[in-house]
A and B are shown apart, each in its own frame.
Chain A
Amino acid sequence: MAAQYKTIHPAKYYRDFLAHDLRPDGRAPDKTRTVTVNVNSISTADGSATVRIGNTTVICGVKAELGKPKADEPECGFMVPNVELPPLCSPLFRPGPPSEEAQAMTCFVSKATSEMVDLKELCVSVDNLAWVLHIDMICLDYDGCVQDACLIALSAALRTVKLPKVEYDAETKAPSVFLEERTDLSIKSSPVSTSFAVFDDEIILSDPTGEEESLSSAKLSVVTDGEVIFSVHKPGGSTLSETQLQDCMSIAKDRANLVNELITVALSPVDR
C-alpha cells in the first residue's frame, strides 16, 4: 500500500513522515548517512579510492603522466579533475558527452580542490617537464549527494598517490624515472562537502537521497575542513533564515571532522 501511495503522491508521502520528524529511510532530518571509504581499490591507477554514502557510490582513480608546463605558468604542474556521470549510475543519464550536471559538478570539485595541492610541487623542471595528474571520478550509483562523495573520494585518492622520482636531463631533454623511489604528495587541506536539501521551504534535510533531492525546493552545500569554511553554495530556490544557515554549517563542520578521521583510518596500514 505504502509503495502505491508513494508513487501517486510522493511529496505528501514525505510530509507524513516528516510530521513525525522522520524520513522514509528511518533517519531524523539532521542525520547523515553512513560513509564508507576504501583506498587503493584499483591497482592500475596511481592512486584510487571508492566512497559510499548510503547507496551513492563514487570511484576515483588518479593517473599520473608527464607533460610540458604551460607557457604562462612554467613552474606549475597540472591537476585535471573530471566528474563523470555515466548512464550506468542512473536512468536519468544517456550515453554521450558529459551532461550539464556533470560539468557543474566537475567545476565544483575542481574549485574545492584547487587549494589542496601546490601545483608548483608537481613541477619537475621549470618550463620543461611537470606532472599531470588525471583525476577521474566516476559515479557508480546516483542516489543523492554525489558531489560530496566525489570530493571525499578525490581527497582519499590523492593521499594514496605515490609519485616516482624523476630527473630531467636538460641537455638530452630526456627524463629518467626511478620507479623504486616514490614519494607521497603533500596535501595541504582536506575539504569535505556536506549537502542539504530544503523541503517544503522550511525543513532542512541533511545528506539527502536522490529522491529527496528531486523533491526539494532548494539545495545547499557547505565545504569545510572542520575549522575553515571554503565555500557555501546555495543556488537559488526557496529562502533560508540565518539561523538555519548557521545550523547547517555546524552540522557540516562536525561531519567534516568525522569524514577526515575516517579517511585517516582508511589510509592507515592494516595487518592482514
Chain B
Amino acid sequence: MPTDNRRIQGPEVSTPYCLFRCSTENQGKIRSSSPDFPPVRKDGRALLEHRKIYVKTGVVSQAKGSAYIELNNTKVICSVFDPREIPNRVEYSQHGELYCVLKFAPFSCAMRRAHQQDSEEKELSLNLKRALEPAVCRHEFPNFQVDIYVLILESDGGTLAASITCAGLALADAHVPMYDLVTAASLGVVRGVLVKDPTEEEEKVCREELEGINQNHGLITVSLMGAHTQITQMWQTGSMTTTCVSESLTHLIQSCEEIYPIAQRCLVKSVVDTISKKKISEQ
C-alpha cells in the first residue's frame, strides 16, 4: 500500500471496535430480526412514507451557490462554483461540462472511510453528473465547466437521492441556467414489498438476496424534473420483475413531485431574503 505522507497516519491496521462486541444477546437480536422485514419500521414510518426533509440554500459563504439537505440522519452539503475553462483541453467542446465530485466524510458511515476517493464514491459521482446534466442548459457555457462538490456528512440511506436534490438546489442557487429543478427519491424492495426512502439498515436488507426464495429485491433511485415530469436518471440494482419496477416508478415519481415544492419554496425564500437584505443595505 502506498504511504500517504501528507497526512498524519495511524497504525497500519486498526479495526472498528464493533466487530469485537461481546454482548451476545444484542447480536442475536439483530440477526433474527433482519431477514423478515417488519411491517412497521423502526422509526415508526408507514412503508410508503418519506422521511421529513430539511433543505437550506446559501450555507457556504465562499461558494457561488450551496445547499444543505437533511433527511433525519442523512446529511449532505453541496457547493457549486463559477464556471471556469476546462483545464488541459485542446479541442473546443460545444457543451459546457459538469464536474461532479462526491465524497463521504471519514466519519459518515458505520465503518471509517478512507481519505481518497474510492470506487463507490466514483460511481456515485458519475450517477450524480448524469442526473444533473439533462437539467442544465449546457449550451450556454461552451468550453467551460461548473464544479459541483458534494460532501456526505452522515449517511443513513438514500445518499444518492439526497445528493442529487441537494446539488440541483445548489446549481439553482448559483444562478446556473437550468431548464428545471431536479429532485430525487429512493425506494427499496424486499420480498416484493415496496419501502419508500429506506434507511441504511433497510437498504442493507434490500440488497441481500434471500436464499431459496426468488423474490423481488433491490433498490431504485430516480431523479425527476418536476415541471416537465421528465426522468433525468434512474438507477436500479437487485432483481425485480418488470411489473414491480413500473409500480415502484409510479411511487418514486410521486415522491419526487412531493419534494419539488419543498425545494421551490426554499429557493423562493432565499430570493426574498437577498432582496430584503439589499433593501436594508441601500437605505
Q: Which residue numbers of A lie inside 8 Å of B, CB to CB? A: 41-45, 48, 55, 57, 59, 61-70, 78, 80-82, 84, 86-91, 95, 97-98, 103, 106, 110, 132, 134, 136, 138, 140-143, 164, 166, 174-180, 210
Contacts of A134 in B (CB 8 A): 10, 14, 106-107, 112
User: Closest Cβ of chain A: how far from B17's Cβ, in Å?
Assistant: 5
Interface 9-mer from B132-140, B149-157, B252-260: B149-157
The distance in angstroms between the C-alpha atoms of A175 and B19, with both chains bound, is: 10
Complex Cα distance A48/B105, Å? 12
Stretch of B43-51, B73-81, B268-276 on the interface side? B73-81
Which of A67, A70, A80, A88 lies in contact with B8, CB distance below 8 A? Answer: A80
Listed by A's residue number, 26 A-B pairs whose Cβ atoms lie within 8 Å are A42-B153, A44-B107, A44-B156, A55-B61, A63-B106, A63-B107, A64-B17, A66-B20, A68-B11, A69-B11, A78-B14, A82-B7, A82-B8, A86-B149, A86-B151, A88-B60, A88-B151, A89-B60, A89-B62, A91-B63, A132-B10, A140-B59, A178-B22, A179-B21, A179-B23, A180-B23
A66 touches B7 (CB 8 A): no
Q: A43-B73, A134-B112 are in contact. Are A88 and B79 (CB under 8 A)?
A: yes
B250 part of interface (Cβ distance < 8 Å): no
A186 to B73, CA, bound (A): 28
Q: Does B18 contact A (CB under 8 A)?
A: yes
The residues of B that contact A45 with a CB separation of less than 8 Å are 107
**In the complex the two chains form, what is the Cα distance from A78 to B153 in whole Å?**
24
Q: Which of B4, B18, B78, B107 contacts A136 (CB 8 A)?
A: B107
Interface size class of B (residues with CB under 8 A): 35 or more
Residues of B within 8 A of A (CB): 4, 6-11, 13-18, 20-23, 26, 59-63, 73, 75, 77-79, 81-82, 101, 103, 105-110, 112, 115, 147, 149-151, 153-156
Q: Which residues of A contact B14 (CB under 8 A)?
A: 65-67, 78, 132, 134
Number of A-B contacts (CB under 8 A): 147
What residue in chain A is nearest B150 (Cβ atoms)? Answer: A88
Asked if A177 contacts B18 (CB within 8 A), the reply is yes
Query: B62 is contacted by which of A66, A78, A143 (Cβ under 8 Å)?
Result: A143
Q: Are A140 and B151 in contact (CB under 8 A)?
A: yes
Query: Which B residues are in CB contact (< 8 Å) with A136?
Result: 105-107
